[in-house]
Amino acid sequence: MAFGKTTETISPTDLGRIIPGIAGMTDGYPVAVEILSMHFHGQREDQTRWDAALIDCGRLLLRSYPFDRLNQTTEYELATIAKVCLRDNDAAEDAGLVCRRLVEHHTEQLISRFQLDGLVEALFTFHPQVALDCFLGGVQDEWRHREILSIDLEARNPLCKVPTQVFL
């Protein structure tokens, strides 16, 4: 389902029900993420507004993805989903949950910063206040200051996505 234009023939409501079902299967999360990511990627040029069923499906995957199984390909796919599904202001709560889960999994050393670039960048782009509060707010956790801020300092520092006024 992830290759070609297979998902274009499926209604958004049906696709929004099929993908969580796939995610619920043994080792299904990476497959579900790949399908939705490729659906968004394949239609990126044509879509300005996505169906609510697909947005909800993407947010569900982002909120519940088992980050201990993250790899570079899956991180890219999650970032693609985040760029579509976390754009709106009403996604702030979901963005906060994803941020907190990333911090928790990194703190437990289940994921490394090298697996986070695109997803963290999307969080700082669309919900900078939420990301700042989560990654830098209040706690003097060395990882938060060193690891997240050191993500490709020259090209892809997520703090570069934060508007100056929000940052200040």
Which tens digit of pLDDT belongs to each residue from 129-157? 998 888 777 555 544 444 554 555 455 67
What is the rounded radius of gyration, in angstroms, for the C-alpha atoms of the chain? 16
Domain boundaries, the chain: 1-85, 88-168
Q: What is the mean pLDDT of residues 46-74?
A: 85
Which tens digit of pLDDT belongs to each residue from 99-123? 888 877 765 555 555 567 788 889 9
Instruction: Check residues 82 and 108 and name the one with the higher pLDDT.
Output: 82
State residue 145's pLDDT score: 43
Question: Do 70 and 111 touch, CB atoms closer than 8 A?
Answer: yes
CA nearest to 148, candidates 103, 95, 92: 103
CA nearest to 6, candidates 35, 28, 49: 35
CA nearest to 113, candidates 70, 73, 84: 70
pLDDT band at 35 (very low <50, low <70, confident <90, very high): very high
pLDDT at position 82 over 90: yes
